A and B are shown apart, each in its own frame.
Chain A
Amino acid sequence: MHAIGGLIYMTNLKAVFDQQKVFMPFIVADDPDVETTVKSIVTLAENGADVVELGLPFSDPVADGPVIQAADLRAFKAGVKTATVFEIVEQVRTQTAVPIVLLTYVNLVYKYGYDAFCQRCQQLDISGLVIPDLPLEENAELKAIATKHHVALVPLIAPTSGKRITKIAAQATGFIYVVSAMGVTGQREQFSKQLATTIAQIRAVTTVPVAIGFGIHSPQQAHELGQLADGIIIGSAIVKLMAAQPVDLQAQLANYAQSIKQALS
């Protein structure tokens, strides 16, 4: 919850997904510095991003491919800390109320303290947490605390989830992150053929929105996957833009975001 212009505002993720096909870009906090991250979030929000997913780098990101790992390294070079990500959101909140979810690994949340971390999220209106190494079987403790602070613990569903899909979906809050392909993050041309079936299985047990991520980069793909799901997540393609550090980065981000948003509408 946070105050904008005197109003108490708290994001309801479901409502965001109800209003439109959601475009959710991902960038890494402090890549290559705090100022760029803040600017980029604002640019993305002003050019079609409905939710921004912000990555808090971990030293050993086992779910991430080379592009995001390289971004993590740039952030570490800049001296990123857990506190940095909150500082970034704090600065962002003076400019936009765009819904934000954090992606990080469980150890960073564990070390900060589950309660302290979720409380900070709540203060900054961070509406969800995506934690790739916290599967259903291990999430009870954090989930209870997150729920208390109105932060959604977003579950992931993989092409291999099989019988687990129903169980995971039934307990989901916020939205469900459907991993479109096996392996780690990174651009792909091929997606799991069972995506449609997976999503049907999810829909059978819950109205919690579904977003697809991992490997999406072109507007064409965004359009196609947008037909299947309630939203799409684009990570590596945007992080690659950031990596190139062009002088007109903000203009390029704006163009890219617009092209994806258009393809989704």
Chain B
Amino acid sequence: MSERLTTAQTTDDRYYGQFGGQFIPETLMTELQAVAKAYHRYRQDPDFLHDLHTLLHDYANRPSLLYYAERMTKDLGGAKIYLKREDLNHTGAHKINNVIGQALIAKRMGKTRLIAETGAGQHGVATATIAALFGMDCEVYMGKLDTDRQRLNVYRMELLGAKVHPVTTGSMVLKDAVNAALQAWTQRVDDTFYVMGSAVGPYPFPQMVHDFQSVISRESKAQLQAVEHHLPDMVVACVGGGSNAIGSFAQYIDDPSVQLIGCEAAGKGVNTGQTAATIEKGTPGIFHGMKSLFLQNDDGQIDQVYSISAGLDYPGVGPEHAQLAALKRATYVGITDEEAVQAFEYIAKTEGIIAAIESCHALAYVMKVAPTMRPDQTIICTLSGRGDKDVAAIARYRGTDLHD
């Protein structure tokens, strides 16, 4: 597992600077503390670590490749571009890294039932997959709008034996799915573990997700060292709640020469009001169990946000990212729908990779920045997932009515 969090600068483990905490109803506090206790115990337990590594290796197909995107590098004409291929993991995204970790903790806590929220459906699919593997029950909460735009993943989850609840409250997207999953957890804690899908929520979730996703940067650091014999100059990842980004950044946070770039969904544009660019446009607030940055109005009512990407369509961000932004250790940029779709098409044609629309937000930034860098510099861009799930939606965006 990774070392202590370097961004957790207070003595209070639950906070990253002023961000983090456990702002959650009393009904869940006892359970949350039990989860924290179990997590701290098992993250040092050799048996647990053995099971974790075995599953990551034998089941999830780790380590994931660090692929030199030669055609893209040549075409863009600047820095050398490496892609960290989380899309090649079993179930097709980074989400499985975290789910395996949390589900192993759930199992050791004696839980028999997993619940989860999902946006794009990748976290739901990963949770349903591991529930099937472990013989556990699984229920997934997903905004009604997302069940429509990610129908393929809904069917996948059902195929894996999970029950999918379309959430019809609020804006019917990821934020509302988190609300529904939290409510469901409140109703039934005894046998149920809430597998949080991103580096968000109350402590210990952000720390746990950081830990389980840091495998991305532990691998990439060693892999790049082996071929280039140095650190990357820049690491780029997309940010919804921030799990693949924090996993991609983790091992480089203490290397100040490595620029860390998080790409948020700007939707129709950072200043259009139809955006999900939380760090650029958000203000401090307290929601979903954490103090962090949120898109909200002057009263503190949470905004309904927008992005073409169901996985980035979230009005908040993990507390560690809020702190990395405050410390200026990482930089966060907005990428519009159009830029992401162009990157989706570009990487398909240039590298023969159909990447998730979420990941294409990171790629779009690489397309802008690589030409401004020198050929002796390197970028690692995390391809957080594969894009099969997005093909129909992108076709629709381009005006072709394709039914999946």
Question: How far is B287's CA from A155's CA once the two chains are assembled, in angstroms?
Answer: 19
Q: A62-B183, A107-B296, A183-B183 are in contact. Are A160 and B31 (CB under 8 A)?
A: yes
Interface of A is mostly: loop
By a CB distance below 8 angstroms, the chain A residues around B288 are 60
For A94-108 the 0/1 string (1 means CB < 8 A from B) is 000000000000111
Q: How far is the CB of A85 from chain B (nearest CB, A)?
A: 10
CB B176 to nearest CB in A, in angstroms, measures 8
Q: How far is the CA of A60 from the CA of B176 in the complex (A)?
A: 8
Q: Which residues of chain B (8-36) have a CB below 8 Å from chain A?
A: 14, 21-31
Q: Residue B188 at the A interface, CB < 8 A?
A: yes
A157 to B298, CA, bound (A): 31
Assess whether B377 is interfacial by the CB under 8 Å rule: no
> Quick one: which of A95-147 are within 8 Å of B by CB?
106-108, 110-112, 132-138
- Indicate which residue in A107, A137, A155, A182 contacts B300 across the interface (CB closer than 8 Å): A107
CB distance from A124 to the nearest CB of B (A): 18
B186 touches A161 (CB 8 A): no
Contact of A107 among B29, B189, B287 (CB under 8 A): B287
With a cutoff of 8 Å between Cβ atoms, the chain B residues found around residue A168 in the complex are 26
Inter-chain contacts of B286 with A (CB < 8 A): 106-107, 110, 133
Shortest Cβ distance from A102 into chain B, in angstroms?
14
**Other-chain contact of A160, B23, B27, B299 (Cβ < 8 Å):** B27
Chain A, residue nearest B14 (CB): A137
Residues of B in contact with A (beta carbons under 8 Å apart): 14, 21-31, 169-170, 175-176, 179, 182-183, 186-189, 284-289, 294, 296, 298-302
In the complex, besides A60-B170, A107-B302, A135-B24, 5 extra interface pairs with C-beta distance below 8 angstroms are A58-B301, A82-B299, A108-B301, A111-B296, A160-B29
> Which 10 residue pairs of A and B lie closest in terms of their CB atoms, listed nearest first?
A111-B300, A183-B187, A158-B27, A107-B300, A59-B301, A156-B26, A108-B300, A59-B302, A158-B26, A107-B286
Residue numbers in B under 8 Å from A184 (CB-CB): 183, 186-187
Bound Cα distance A188, B174 (Å): 29
Are A137 and B22 neighbours in the complex by a CB distance under 8 Å?
yes
B interface: dominant SS:
mixed
**Chain B residues near A107 (CB, 8 Å)?**
285-287, 294, 296, 300, 302
A59 to B14, CA, bound (A): 25
- Whole-angstrom distance between the alpha carbons of A182 and B24 in the complex? 14
Q: Say yes or no: A138 contacts B22, CB within 8 Å.
A: yes
A162 within 8 Å of B (CB atoms): yes
The digit string for A156-172, where 1 denotes a CB below 8 A from any CB of B, is 11111111100010000
A81 at the interface (CB under 8 A from B): yes
Q: Is B300's CB under 8 angstroms from A60's CB?
A: no
**B25 and A135 within 8 A (CB):** yes
30 A-B residue pairs with Cβ-Cβ distance under 8 Å, sorted by A, are A58-B300, A58-B301, A59-B302, A62-B25, A62-B182, A107-B285, A107-B286, A107-B300, A111-B296, A132-B25, A133-B23, A133-B286, A135-B22, A135-B26, A136-B26, A138-B22, A138-B23, A158-B29, A161-B26, A161-B29, A161-B30, A163-B30, A164-B26, A164-B30, A179-B26, A182-B27, A182-B186, A183-B27, A183-B187, A184-B186
Q: Does A69 contact B (CB under 8 A)?
A: yes
With both beta carbons as reference points, the residue of chain A lying nearest to B169 in the complex is identified as A69
Interface size class of A (residues with CB under 8 A): 35 or more
B252 to chain A, nearest CB (A): 31
Taking a contact as CB atoms closer than 8 A, the residue among A58, A82, A110, A156 that contacts B25 in the complex is A156
**Cβ contacts under 8 Å, A134 to chain B:** 23
Given known contacts A60-B170, A135-B29, is B189 in contact with A160 (CB within 8 Å)? Answer: yes
A99 to B179, CA, bound (A): 32
Chain A residues with CB below 8 A from B22, complex form: 135, 137-138
B24 engages A81 (CB within 8 Å): no
A164 to B284, CA, bound (A): 29
A4 touches B (CB below 8 Å)? no
Whether A60 lies near B30 (C-beta < 8 A) is: no
A63 interfacial contact with B, CB 8 Å? yes
Chain B residues, Cβ within 8 Å of A159: 27
With most chain B CB atoms within 10 A of its CB, the pick from A58, A63, A135 is: A135
Task: Give bound CA distance, A106 to B28, whole Å.
Answer: 16
In the assembled complex, the CB of B72 is this many whole angstroms from the nearest CB of chain A, namely 40
B contact residues around A161 at 8 Å (CB): 26, 29-30
Chain B residues with Cβ below 8 Å from A182 are 27, 186-189
A111→B187 contact, CB < 8 A: no
B170, A59: Cβ atoms closer than 8 Å: yes
Q: In chain A, what residue has the closest Cβ to B304?
A: A59
Give the Cβ gap from B285 to chain A, nearest Cβ, in Å.
5
A111:B183 contact, CB within 8 angstroms: no
Contact of A111 among B27, B30, B175, B285 (CB under 8 A): B285
Report the Cα distance A62→B25, complex, angstroms: 9
Q: Is the CB of A60 within 8 A of B26?
A: no
Complex Cα distance A111/B26, Å?
A: 22
CB-based nearest A residue for B22: A137
Q: In the assembled complex, how far is the CB of residue B276 from the closest CB belonging to chain A, in whole angstroms?
A: 16
The answer to whether A60 touches B183 (Cβ under 8 A) is no
Assess whether B299 is in contact with A81, with CB atoms less than 8 Å apart.
yes
Contact of A164 among B25, B29, B287 (CB under 8 A): B29
The 0/1 profile, CB within 8 Å of B marked 1, for residues 38-75 of chain A is: 00000000000000000000111011000001000000
Given the complex, which residues of A lie within 8 Å of B189, measured CB to CB? 160, 182
